[in-house]
Homo-oligomer: A and B are copies of this chain.
Amino acid sequence: MTMEEILWKHILSVRQKSPLVHNITNFVVMNNTANALLAVGASPIMAHALAEVKEMVNISSASVINIGTLDEIWIKSMLIAAQEANAIQKPWVLDPVGAGASSFRNETLSQLLNYHPTVIRGNASEIIALAKVNKATTKGVDSTAASLEAIDAAKNLHEQYGAIICISGETDIIVDGEKSLFIKNGHVLMTKVTGLGCSASALIGAFIACIENKTEAVAAAMALLAISGEIAVQESNGPGSLQINLIDKLYNITKEEFMTHIKIS
């Protein structure tokens, strides 16, 4: 099988296995995140109470922790969830929203990294900020391109914490130490819809819940979202209808659509 066929097989696998995915995420995107997970065939749980968060990690096949609207109370839930996921070897995704924007976020991220996320997904500036937070020396100090700096940051984060790093952007880049994968799908209008990065992290959660090869799982999730967005844009008048059409396409994308559009290397 080609890589493209492998990724499509993984999409079918998520549809079939319908994994339970636990989310502690931000208030802005909870509805969309739940709908994106449902659309690809997963079952979302949103739960953050201190008293039950361990149980939620245990009954789910993966957890997703997103610090978008972080506060002093929710931090505790995030740390308990991350600690539990690490302790019982459940895969989990860290979405470091706004890394670098405040010392509060940086310190929280520093603590979360100690619980070894399976995957970290952020945009280039978040990945770069995250690497700096943890004093990982950046190799590429002379890099002029932000994407090169982000790849260096991702490599450092991977070496230090063992996580697969996904840098999302015009080209999505997946760094796992051995190689880097590049997915050149998606559309610029997607940046005008709030929280599609958060949806990406949630979909990664659904895929690492089911798929043994975690790098392929991340690639399948990112390709699915980017291609669905690309197709949905064609039927959209703006970012409002794109948000809706994207959910529809995540749900009804066909193998032919996927194979025709995918650009991975």
Contacts and interface: CB of A to CB of B under 8 A. Distances in A.
A18 to B, nearest CB: 11
Contacts of A251: 192, 238-240
A63 to B, nearest CB: 15
Interface in A75-109: 77, 98, 101-105
Interface size class of A (residues with CB under 8 A): 35 or more
A187 B69 CA distance: 33
A121 to B, nearest CB: 19
Nearest to A69: B46
Interface stretch (A32-40, A133-141, A157-165): A32-40
Contact of A192 (B39, B193, B239): B39
Interface of A: 26-32, 34-35, 38-39, 44-52, 55-56, 59, 68-73, 77, 98, 101-105, 192-195, 236-241, 243-252
A26 B25 CA distance: 13
A243 B245 contact: no
